[in-house]
């Protein structure tokens, strides 16, 4: 299985949900199931597949990295309102949001705006 | 997707989520050269245009308020007093502190252009034109709230570290604690003035809608006093609002003691919209204008009027968060939402709603702020609320007496005039009235109610069917809840000055039953002569 390496960073207090560590490097498969199931053992042969995108990365983070309180990170299959995503220092809204296809070495930043004024 | 209309005839009513970026061009709308990095309310900006954009909005909100009223902007910016910045360590206040330091206190060396050694910006840069906008040293205040949220860690030292990182701005750091509201030492530091022994031990009875004043034991610690106060509040909504009011008043009194003319708060556009909607939902519609901008007149004569300015009020939370990220600023976050059981407080629910709205329809959030900015109260104000220190609507208690449904225990208050319960006979009503008047034998006990605004009175008296989970500290009772120092002090002053007015107030709030002939006498001049 081919994998790509992605750098993930957290800002604005979101690191509190991820063991208070601000930077991670993760390896994820380059081809993933369309339904974003992240079970590594799952056989891709009987599933529809797609090239890995940010939606899959978010599901991967929820299933394998998130330590507590899913509801503070995800809502309706995407990140919760109030969490900003930057892909290679650019707002993900300019990159197609969750549909952006990840490449090896991409940097994805998640910033929470939910913590106080 | 939510709507009452018929989606089969009108597709728009489904309010399906609109793409925030239309995909037409990724070029920055400002310089039209660089590829954009961020989408702000449907417009694309590149990273180098983003910083002047945010700084421009910050200055546009702040600078018209700096000069004394009627002062001319042309002569440069000159404030009448010093500057106090209130920060929480959250996303937008960290961005605000950075903007304040970079805009008004940056050293000349830091601004030199690396290429040619010349200063960035022209001759009109505020750093040059407005050198020394405020008098004296700027102060940064932080209110530590961990006393109200058990299990939360004290972040004072982290905030101190953040403030000290702006060594060129030479900020004075003043850490406060939420429990200082109940601390005689703090009250002395801010020059609150001496209180008589009686005023020092004032408390009130939370179980009664009249909020009668009592004498509380003054020997409990400020922390216990604050915890008693907060845990005696009837709802989670009241708890969170009270914390907000404490923070605001602590900052205001501290600012007054620093002879400040400006107190800056880091309320972003998003947070302002949340505060406006949640304030209106809690009955604070009368002071909706104060939520955006207000001037506070301290009680002491030698303090200046303080303008509370929210210079981030045109900048959304997204821009603040991206500013922090791109400037490598560390936000001092807390993980409070799930701990305090405050998820169902009106402020927390409003926050969830507005953040969802901002993410799906970015423009609506600024519409809330702009629409609220046009609202003015229809009726005048008859003074300042003793608790939140904002203008209170006149005749609130009379009005509330007419519209409220009360329990039988309080029926005696409502039986005068036309609010009498229709199923009670004349005799029963007379009995009720009599007991109420008898119970207040002697002079009426002074109460807080007549001196509170509608929102604060509701905050203290409106009960939830579920109640709060919080339990009182041991040895404390709901009949005797301590009061913050500014309330104790104003009660003392008011009872001295307004002694004569008191009987009149008591008439209104207690309600006095009139006989038929007395009623007729009162309206005699409007009656037509019987032919």
Which uninterrupted H or E stretch holds A98?
none
Q: What percent of chain B has pLDDT over 90?
A: 25
Q: Mean pLDDT highest for which of A45-54, B309-318, B463-472, B473-482?
A: B309-318
Q: Does residue A117 belong to the interface with chain B, where contact is any CB pair within 8 Å?
A: yes
Is the entire prediction scored with pTM above 0.80? yes
For chain B, give the percent of residues with pLDDT over 70.
Answer: 73
| Inter-chain CB proximity A84 and B39 less than 8 Å | no
> Average model confidence (pLDDT) for chain B?
78
Residue B307 confidence (pLDDT) above 80: yes
Q: How confident is the model at residue B106 (pLDDT cuts 50, 70, 90)?
A: confident
In sequence order, the 6+-apart residues with CB closer than 8 A to the CB of B421 are: B411, B414, B415, B429
Token pair of B283 as six digits: 């009955």
Contact A93 B325 (CB under 8 A): no
Task: Please judge whether B270 and A113 are an interchain contact, meaning their C-beta atoms are less than 8 angstroms apart.
Answer: yes
Residue B307 falls in which region: left (phi positive, over 0), alpha (psi -120 to 50) or beta: beta
Our count of domains for chain A comes to 1
Helix (H) or strand (E) holding B384: strand B381-384
Q: What is the pLDDT of residue B310?
A: 94
Q: Do A116 and B267 touch (CB under 8 A)?
A: no
B99 pLDDT band (50/70/90 cuts)? very high
Query: Across residues B346-352, what is the average pLDDT?
Result: 88
| CB-CB contact of B61 with B311 (8 Å) | yes
pLDDT digits (tens, 9 = 90+) for B197-213: 667 777 888 777 778 88
Residue A39 has pLDDT above 50, yes or no: yes
Of residues B38, B91, B359, nearest to A12 (C-beta): B91
Assess whether pLDDT exceeds 80 at residue B135. yes
Alpha-carbon distance of B215 to B412, in angstroms, equals 25
Nearest CA in chain B to A76: B356
Q: What average pLDDT does this structure show over B387-414?
A: 72
Could you tell me the pLDDT band of residue B299, with boundaries at 50, 70 and 90? confident
CA B206 to chain centre: 22
Distance, in Å, from the CA atom of B189 to the CA atom of A75, rounded to the nearest integer, reads 47
Read off the pLDDT band of A72 (50, 70, 90): confident
CA dist B115 to B102, B111, B120, B122, B127, Å?
20, 12, 11, 16, 20
DSSP designation for B224: H
CA-to-CA dists, residue B407 to B189, B205, B413, angstroms: 44, 18, 10
Contact between chains at A93 and B266 (C-beta distance less than 8 A)? no
Position B418 confidence tier, pLDDT thresholds 50, 70, 90: very low
CA-based nearest distance A48→chain B, Å:
26
Distance, in angstroms, between B453 CA and closest chain A CA?
25
The mean pLDDT of B333-359, rounded to a whole number, is 75
B285: pLDDT strictly greater than 80: yes
Q: Does A84 touch chain B (CB under 8 A)?
A: yes
A28-42, B266-280, B382-396: least confident range: A28-42
Q: Is A114 on the interface with B (CB under 8 A)?
A: yes
Judge residue B263's burial from the number of C-beta atoms within 10 Å of its C-beta, 0-12 exposed, 13-18 middle, 19 or more buried: buried
Q: What is the structure's pLDDT at B327?
A: 93
Write down the pLDDT at residue B127: 55
Lowest mean pLDDT among A66-75, B37-46, B142-151, B489-498: B489-498
Q: Quick check: B391 and B287 in contact, CB under 8 A?
A: yes
| Residue to substitute from A113, A114, A115, interface B, most B β-carbons within 10 A | A113
Mean pLDDT to the nearest integer, B110-134: 57
- Whether residue A51 is contained in a domain is answered as yes
| pLDDT top residue among B160 and B479 | B160
Residues of A in contact with B26 (CB under 8 A): 94
Per the DSSP assignment, residues forming a β-bridge with A74 are A79
* pLDDT of res. B494: 65
What is the tens place of the pLDDT at every residue in A82-103?
Answer: 899 999 999 998 888 888 999 9
Q: At what angle do helices B346-360 and B269-281 cross, to 10 degrees?
A: 140
pLDDT at B338 over 50: no
- pLDDT, position B339: 43
CA distance B491 to B199: 8
Which pLDDT score is estimated for A49? 84
Beta-carbon contacts below 8 Å between A and B: 96
Helix (H, G, I), strand (E, B), or coil: what is residue B132?
coil
Distance from CA of A1 to the nearest CA of B (A): 33
Check CB contact of B293 with chain A, cutoff 8 Å. no
Rounded to an integer, what distance in angstroms lies between the CA atom of residue B380 and that of residue B267?
27
> Residue B128: pLDDT band by 50, 70, 90 thresholds?
low
CB contact under 8 A, A94 and B21: yes
Q: Which residues of B touch A113 (CB under 8 A)?
A: 91, 270, 317-318, 320-321, 355
ipTM of the complex: 0.92
Q: pLDDT band at residue B432, thresholds of 50, 70 and 90? A: low
User: How far from the centroid of its chain's Cα atoms is residue B347's Cα?
Assistant: 12
All domains of chain B in start order, with CATH: 21-56 (no CATH), 77-105+132-413+446-463+477-501 (3.40.50.620)
> Which of B143, B269, B359 to substitute to test the interface with A, most A CBs within 10 Å?
B359
Q: What is the pLDDT of residue B232?
A: 86
- Residues on chain B touching A114 (C-beta within 8 angstroms): 337, 351, 355
Q: Quote the percentage of chain A above a pLDDT of 70.
A: 92
Cα separation, B473 vs B477, whole angstroms: 9
Calpha distance B416→B508 (Å, rounded): 11
pLDDT score recorded for residue B93: 92
Q: How far apart are the first and last CA of chain B?
A: 67
Residues 6+ apart with CB under 8 A from B199: B488, B489, B491, B492
| Percent of chain B that is helix, strand, coil (3-state, to 5) | 45, 10, 40
Query: Is A31 contained in some domain?
Result: yes
* A78 touches B at CB < 8 Å: no
Least confident of A35-44, B139-148, B459-468, B504-513: B504-513
pLDDT attached to residue A31: 87
Which of B389, B146, B134 has the alpha carbon at shortest distance from B248?
B389
What lies within 8 Å, CB to CB, of A29 at 6+ separation is A1, A2, A3, A4, A52
d(CA A108, CA A90): 9
- Which structure tokens are listed for B231? 């845990």
Structure-block tokens of residue B149:
């949220």
The whole-number pLDDT of residue B367 equals 92
* CATH code of the domain containing A69: 3.10.20.30
Measured in angstroms, the CA of B268 and the nearest CA of chain A are apart by 7
Q: What is the pLDDT of residue B293?
A: 83
DSSP state letters, B179-201: GGGG-HHHHHHTT-----HHHHT
Q: Which residue has the higher pLDDT, B208 or B451?
A: B451
Query: How far does A68 lie from chain B, in Å, by closest CA?
Result: 11
Per-residue model confidence (pLDDT) at position B384: 86
Report whether pLDDT(A56) > 60. yes
The mean pLDDT of B105-125, rounded to a whole number, is 57
Q: Which domain holds residue A10?
A: 3-112
Please say if the pLDDT value at position B223 is more than 80: yes
pLDDT in tens, B2-52: 456 666 666 666 565 556 666 677 889 999 888 899 998 888 999 999 999
Of B397, B373, B375, nearest to B385 (Cα)?
Answer: B397
Range A22-40 average pLDDT: 86
pLDDT, chain A, mean: 86
If one compares B311 and B409, the residue with the highest pLDDT of the two is: B311
Q: How far apart are CA B443 and CA A7, in angstroms?
A: 73
Has residue A117 been placed in a domain?
no
Residue A91: which of B276, B119, B359 has the closest Cα? B359
- Find chain B residues with C-beta within 8 A of A116's C-beta: 88-91, 93, 333-334
Report d(CA B135, CA B84) in Å as an integer: 11
Angle between helices B269-281 and B317-326 (to 10 degrees): 140
CA atoms within 13 A on the CB side of B12: 0
Residues from chain A contacting residue B39 (CB–CB below 8 Å)? 91, 93-94
Of A86, A94, A115, the CB nearest to B91: A115
Given a contact cutoff of 8 angstroms between Cβ atoms, the answer to whether B20 and A93 are in contact is: yes
Going by the DSSP 8-state scheme, the letter that residue A70 receives in this structure is G
Selection from A93, A83, A101, A104 nearest residue A27 by Cα: A104
């Amino acid at each position: 299985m081919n994998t790509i390496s992605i750098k993930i960073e957290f800002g604005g207090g979101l690191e509190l949900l991820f063991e208070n560590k601000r930077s991670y490097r993760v390896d994820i498969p380059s081809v993933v199931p369309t339904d974003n199931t992240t079970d590594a053992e799952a056989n891709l042969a009987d599933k529809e597949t797609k090239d890995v995108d940010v939606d899959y990365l978010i599901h991967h983070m929820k299933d394998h990295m998130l330590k507590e309180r899913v509801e503070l990170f995800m809502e309706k299959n995407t990140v919760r309102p109030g969490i900003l995503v930057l892909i290679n220092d650019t707002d993900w809204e300019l990159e197609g949001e969750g549909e952006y296809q990840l490449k090896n070495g991409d940097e994805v930043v998640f910033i929470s705006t939910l913590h106080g004024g | 997707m939510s709507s009452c209309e018929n989606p089969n005839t009108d597709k728009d009513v489904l309010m399906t989520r609109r793409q925030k970026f239309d995909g037409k061009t990724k070029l920055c709308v400002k310089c039209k050269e660089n590829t954009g990095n961020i989408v702000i309310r449907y417009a694309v900006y590149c990273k180098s245009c983003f910083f002047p954009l945010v700084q421009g909005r910050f200055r546009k909100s702040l600078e018209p308020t700096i000069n004394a009223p009627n002062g001319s902007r042309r002569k440069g910016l000159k404030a009448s007093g010093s500057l106090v910045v209130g920060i929480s360590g959250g996303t937008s206040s960290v961005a605000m502190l950075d903007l304040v330091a970079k805009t008004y206190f940056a050293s000349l060396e830091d601004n030199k252009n690396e290429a040619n050694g010349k200063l960035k910006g022209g001759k009109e840069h505020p750093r040059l034109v407005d050198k020394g906008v405020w008098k004296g040293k700027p102060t940064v205040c932080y209110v530590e709230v961990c006393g109200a949220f058990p299990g939360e860690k004290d972040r004072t030292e982290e905030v101190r570290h953040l403030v000290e990182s702006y060594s060129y701005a030479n900020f004075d750091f003043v850490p406060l604690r939420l429990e200082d509201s109940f601390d005689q030492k703090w009250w002395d530091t801010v020059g609150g003035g001496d209180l008589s022994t009686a005023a020092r031990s004032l408390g009130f009875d939370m179980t009664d809608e009249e909020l009668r004043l009592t004498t509380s034991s003054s020997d409990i610690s400020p922390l216990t006093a604050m915890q008693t106060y907060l845990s005696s509040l009837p709802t989670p909504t009241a708890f969170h609002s009270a914390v907000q009011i404490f923070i605001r008043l602590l900052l205001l009194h501290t600012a007054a003691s620093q002879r400040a003319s400006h107190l800056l708060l880091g309320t972003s556009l998003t947070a302002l919209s949340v505060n406006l909607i949640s304030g209106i939902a809690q009955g604070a519609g009368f002071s909706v204008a104060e939520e955006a901008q207000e001037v506070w007149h301290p009680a002491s004569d030698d303090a200046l009027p303080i303008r509370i300015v929210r210079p981030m009020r045109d900048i959304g939370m997204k821009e603040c968060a991206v500013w922090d990220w791109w400037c490598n600023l560390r936000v001092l976050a807390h993980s409070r939402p799930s701990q305090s059981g405050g998820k169902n407080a009106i402020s927390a629910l409003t926050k969830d709603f507005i953040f969802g709205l901002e993410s799906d329809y970015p423009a609506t959030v600024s519409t809330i702020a702009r629409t609220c900015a046009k609202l003015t109260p229809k009726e005048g104000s008859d003074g300042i609320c003793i608790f939140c220190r904002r203008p209170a609507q006149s005749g609130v208690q009379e009005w509330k007496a007419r519209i409220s449904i009360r329990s039988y225990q309080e029926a005696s208050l409502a039986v005068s005039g036309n609010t009498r319960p229709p199923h009670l006979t004349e005799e029963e009503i007379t009995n009720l009235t009599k007991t109420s008047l008898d119970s207040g034998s002697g002079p009426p006990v002074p109460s807080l109610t007549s001196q509170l605004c509608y929102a604060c009175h509701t905050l203290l008296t409106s009960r939830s069917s579920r109640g709060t989970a919080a339990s009182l500290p041991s040895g404390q009772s709901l009949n005797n809840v301590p009061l913050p120092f500014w309330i104790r002090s104003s009660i003392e002053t008011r009872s001295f000055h307004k002694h004569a007015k008191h009987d009149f107030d008591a008439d209104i709030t207690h309600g006095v039953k009139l006989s038929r002939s007395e009623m007729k006498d009162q309206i005699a001049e409007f009656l037509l002569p019987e032919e």
